[in-house]
Amino acid sequence: MTADLFETVPGVRPSREAMADGAVLLRGFALPSESDVIGALREIIAQAPFRRMFTPGGHQMSVAMTNCGSAGWVTDHSGYRYDGIDPDSGKPWPSMPPAFRELAVRAATAGGFENFAPDACLINRYTPGARMSLHQDKDEQDFAAPIVSVSLGLPAIFLFGSPKRADKPRRYRLEHGDVVVWGGPSRLFFHGVAPLAEGEHVLMGRQRINLTFRKAR
Ligand code: MD3
Ligand code: FE
């Protein structure tokens, strides 16, 4: 049978791994959509280039960011927020491409969250040395909706904590094509990314890009 044939080919069939209650790692889930997603990403960054934003405390982030969708996450001296306007261009963020939305909705469904309706996609770019310290994502209105993350390019060590900042995080290696759905109790867990190691990815070059789909409003 065709299905059996595919199941014997290593790397074709995505796997599923529970990370916590409500958090599911779907290894390779984005691989079949890889070329559509990378093509759409190129168009977004032509309209809304990556930029390294400043935290309210005045530190410049090592991760460069942009957004697509009707809301985008921004940080500056006045705080963290979702805004419909790109502060660098003064124009709305690029709309969310169908290839992005469809991938996120399929992943949410596979993770057990039906009717996911993301209105924001934060796009993070890590170059070697870039990191994200432990934090919670609390700027969204509705914590019942999951967050879906898609990893592209160089692998990263993802740090996955608990509801308490002080708990030692577990480490997961996230690779090109991996998708994680974070919902339920895990939605407010502390998490971060260890400094990116040097490397060169065949499709993405010397960087890691992470898409996080959110219901911001
Ligand atoms: C777990 N980004 O943008 S994605 C972020 O790889 C962020 O760029 C990381 O944390 C990155 O806020 C991690 C995975 C992720 C996103 C949101 C979460 C994990 C999460 C929210 C709750 C728990
Ligand atoms: Fe986060």
Instruction: Point out the ligand nearest to the CA of residue 194.
Output: 1
Average pLDDT taken over every residue of the chain: 95
Task: Provide the sign of the torsion angle of the four alpha carbons 17, 184, 194, 28, taken in this order.
Answer: positive
The pTM assigned to this predicted structure is 0.94
pLDDT band at 2 (very low <50, low <70, confident <90, very high): very low
Helix, strand and coil percent figures for the chain, each rounded to 5: 20, 35, 45
- Is ligand 1 within 6 A of the CB of residue 41? no
Distance between Cα 179 and ligand 2 center (Å): 14
- The count of other CB atoms within 10 Å of the CB of residue 90 is 7
The per-residue pLDDT for range 148-167, each reduced to its tens digit, is 999 999 999 999 999 999 99
Instruction: For ligand 1, atom 14, name the residue with the nearest CA.
Output: 149
Q: What is the DSSP letter of 143?
A: T
216, burial (CB in 10 Å: exposed 0-12, middle 13-18, buried 19+): buried
Ligand 2 centroid distance, CA of 10 (Å): 31
What is the four-CA torsion angle of 166, 168, 171, 177, rounded to 10 degrees? Answer: -20
Handedness of CA 18, 134, 44, 89 (dihedral sign): positive
For residues 187 and 148, what is the distance between their CA atoms, to the nearest angstrom? Answer: 10
Query: Per-residue pLDDT tens for 73-115?
Result: 999 999 999 999 999 999 999 999 999 999 999 999 999 999 9
pLDDT in the model for residue 12: 59
Angle of helix 98-110 relative to helix 34-47, nearest 10 degrees, comes to 130
Whether 66 lines ligand 1, by a CB cut-off of 6 Å, is no
Domains of the chain plus CATH, in order, are 17-214 (2.60.120.590)
Q: Does residue 210 have its Cβ closer than 6 Å to ligand 1?
A: yes
